Structure 1
Amino acid sequence: MSLTQFSMVEELAYLVKDNLPCKHLVLSMEDMLVHFLQNETSLNGVLELEPMNPYNRLLLHRLADIFGFSHQSIGEGDDRHIVLKRCEDTSMSV
């Protein structure tokens, strides 16, 4: 794990420190991302997540950074959600 990845992991841990629902979200999304990376065989490697509130999107953007996904939020209001795309830096070695 690089120093940058370590810093990102520390930041994410701090953001969810005393918030059990957010911890659960991050851990379940981490499992989903690992599963996606192990099983996604299509060339585009795109994963579109469900709409969620701004704070949860922030957490998942941080998680996407740790895994090395390209990511962006799209949509408006209650339909705003994250789209992740596998890229050459995407890895499970965090």
Structure 2
Amino acid sequence: MAEATFTFRVEEELKAAFSEAAKAQDQTDAQLLRAFMRDYVQRQQAAEYDKWFHQKVQKAIASADAGDLISGEDVEAEFAALREEVRKSSAQ
């Protein structure tokens, strides 16, 4: 993976305290910052997924409330037919 330099300004006291905290964990400042950045990106991706999932659930609830449903018996019958089709094609 290509690497890039990330430069930013921070108060000297904060930098010194951060460096000491990183050193206490046997890590460099850069290692710890990369870990924080990865964690932040993962949390953002999880939040985006949660939002997408919530929208899908709300859409499904609205569809069910509107009566747009398929009975369990119909679903079972459809998949039983599909399973039988696969069995027949596997046997040949």
TM-score per shorter chain, which class? Answer: under 0.3
Larger radius of gyration: 2
TM-score scaled by structure 2? 0.27
Q: More strand per residue: 1 or 2?
A: 1
